[in-house]
A and B are shown apart, each in its own frame.
Chain A
Amino acid sequence: MKKISIKTLPDEEFFVGHKGCSGCGGTLILRWTLKALGDRCYVVVPAGCMSAISFIYPQMAFGVNAMIAPFAATGAVLSGIAATIRARGIRDVHVVGFAGDGATADIGLQSLSGALDRRERILYICYDNEAYMNTGVQRSGATPRGARTTTSPSGQVRFAAAKKDLVRIAAAHGIPYAASATTGHPADFLRKLDRARQVDGPAFLHVFAPCPPGWGCATDAAADLGRSVVETGLWPLVEWDHGEVRINREPRSFAPLADYLGAQARFRALGEEDLAAIAAARDHHWQALRAWARECAAAAPAAHPA
């Protein structure tokens, strides 16, 4: 299997002619993914932005086999494809789910859990734009503290809950591989995609995906925000690989939150107290993350097929 890297990405395109908005992080990740994986892919996309912009009869944007799943059922439809591949001994294909945060963290969590539990040989990518964007920016279980949405108009500060930690939720199923990535670190994303496609069993990638209309950010901000969200400590780059946790970037100190939040209208209403609360939640999240990594290192690692 040829190694995936940013230098070897082919010129071929498998996702063109869609109606995605300018600067959409989700379509960028999908485009990279298909370039890297090639044409032997079966892609499942649930109802949402990505299906609404790419399956409009008679103009289809996918250059690989692809289908829309019911909103709640990405994991199940992927499993159905995987079951036939198993039954018929089909080789060298990728079964790839590409779902937003609502379809993953909320309505599709049960179906995803079932697929992970059964150790389906699937690759599930959650592109996280942190709200229900297709329906007009409503709050999801992955909306971060402080973000204004159309159903949390004053921002998330009154919500106690932090964003659901999808990598740890996936890892808790004991699957081979789960990792986070961003649009600001394409080489890191492609390395993780390369790992994900090779493990025997489900792999889960949680990818930060800016949404200019939903976030009120510039249409060329996907790369910058994808870096500043990591530098501010709000989006740790982390890998779960057969029981071992790797924190890919351990910033000695975090960049000021304003570097990231200031570039987005959705955070405009935040005051000093809110920023302090976000910083405290971030610090707590990092403590928990490091504790998790230590805990996993102390436990005997699971059998680790190369």
Chain B
Amino acid sequence: MNTPEFLAGNEAVAQAVRLCRPRVIAAYPITPQTTVVERLSEIVEAGELDAEFVHVESEHSALALLMGSAAMGSRTFTATSSQGLLYMAECLYYASGGRWPLVMMNANRALALPWNIYGDQSDSLALVSAGWVQAYAENAQEALDMIIQAYAVAEDPAIRTPVLVNLDGFVLTHTYEPVSVPEQAEVDAFLPPRDLPDGFPGTFRADAPQSLAITAGPGDYTVFKYQQHAALLAAAAAIRATAERFRARFGRGAQGLVEAWQADDAEFVLITLGSIAGSVRSAIRALREQGVRAGLLRLRYLRPFPAEELGAALFGSQRSLPVRAVGVLEKDISFGHQGSVSLEVKAALYEHASRHRAPAPPVLNFVAGLGGQEIALTDLHAMFADLQGLAHSPSDDRRHLAAPGFTDVRFAGMERFLEENQHQDAA
């Protein structure tokens, strides 16, 4: 067992990348991603990692460059955030369509306008359909572990799908925690060799020229897209198997795409992702002392979407009590509708309900933490109170939960504005 080091989330990612030994790193700076690539440039210059560190002139070029490197069979890394992630949006689809096993870290940050450098999840959620595996770390240790596992999943010949590992900006990227950093030999034994094997699909061959990143007409295009979709669905099993293998070797790590906590007897379940899960656990501990059966489901991966795991956690035979109300807490809003994660959860619940001819519990969407707005313990208690109120109120009285223009969506952090502008319609 290693002595834990005291690392910020970004530094844990940099250490993980060092251990995964990419050949090529390309990066463009953006807050709050910068310390990842600063550490990596130091690591490369110190000779601790034999890699090319390429200073690109934009995020678009960072990801495009790595596609060239991956086509040459190299393991790669880049990191970005917010505007940078959206600036490379075209390349995200390009990379997943090209089936290159890239790994990228994203520091979840709000999107302009207004400009805001603090954490929320609207950046990666805007690109949830880009064909990448999307992982969300809760803490620095999980960030390190997820990066290592990301290479194993991405480079699985049956998957060949890029992976985006998300860390909440500042709250996770810049907060120091004890992190166990594995030995190089252990990681070497866990991962495939750093160069993709000769003949790996999507790579050039010296002896048999390949045309890559091709054009395809409507019929072939559909087949390629279907295969891409099938591979991303199959990634769920690869993620589970990789997590099991990781735990067997390193002795830690959550299993599966959803982590259930105090959930099997929970009547009121909050579903969330990322670093806020720690605060949710604290709230649940306090509520449990008061006799409220509260529980947590943490989405560790949003793509592939863990619909079946979610269904099992909410309705499986292991449950001792039925779920009475579900909340989805996310740092995102899909303007004109509701939070992106809420939409995903509701779709899964509907599918489960229609398949099993069972009623689905009511769902409240809590949109909170936008632009780094604090989510306090009191906010979380209020959310659970809303869920209890929802379960106890007669159905025709539910409309009071909806702000004007919204259906079962609550914005946290609006209290002061509403107080000061009582005469105005906040919506």
Contacts and interface: CB of A to CB of B under 8 A. Distances in A.
A298 B211 CA distance: 47
Contacts of B71: 67, 80-81
Interface in B47-73: 50-52, 54-58, 60-62, 64-73
Contacts of B212: 65-68
Which of under 10, 10 to 19, 20 to 34, or 35 or more describes the interface residues of A?
35 or more
Contact of B68 (A39, A51, A76, A113): A76
20 contacts: A44-B68, A57-B216, A61-B211, A64-B209, A66-B209, A66-B211, A66-B212, A68-B212, A68-B214, A69-B67, A76-B68, A79-B56, A79-B68, A80-B69, A81-B71, A83-B52, A84-B74, A87-B52, A88-B23, A111-B60
Interface in A98-137: 110-111, 113-114, 117-118
Given A57-B214, A70-B91, A76 B74 contact: no
Interface of A: 39-40, 42, 44, 51-52, 54-58, 60-70, 72-73, 75-88, 110-111, 113-114, 117-118
Nearest to B93: A70
Which of B60, B72, B195 has the largest count of A CB atoms less than 10 A from its CB? B72
B228 to A, nearest CB: 14
A76 B64 CA distance: 6
Contacts of A39: 209
B23 A75 contact: no
B73 A84 contact: yes
B60 A72 contact: yes
Contact of A57 (B90, B94, B220): B220
A51 B69 contact: no
Interface string B210-227: 111111110010000000
A67 B95 CA distance: 13
A274 to B, nearest CB: 38
Interface string B106-145: 0000000000000000000000000000000000000000
A84 B215 contact: no
Contact of B57 (A63, A70, A78, A117): A117
A62 B60 contact: no
Contacts of A81: 68-69, 71-72
A70 B23 CA distance: 22
B211 A55 contact: yes
Interface string B182-217: 000000000000010000000011100111111111
A63 B60 contact: no
Contact of B72 (A60, A85, A110): A85
Given A42-B72, A62-B209, 7 more contacts: A42-B204, A44-B68, A65-B209, A73-B65, A77-B65, A80-B69, A80-B70
Which of B24, B209, B220 has the largest count of A CB atoms less than 10 A from its CB? B209
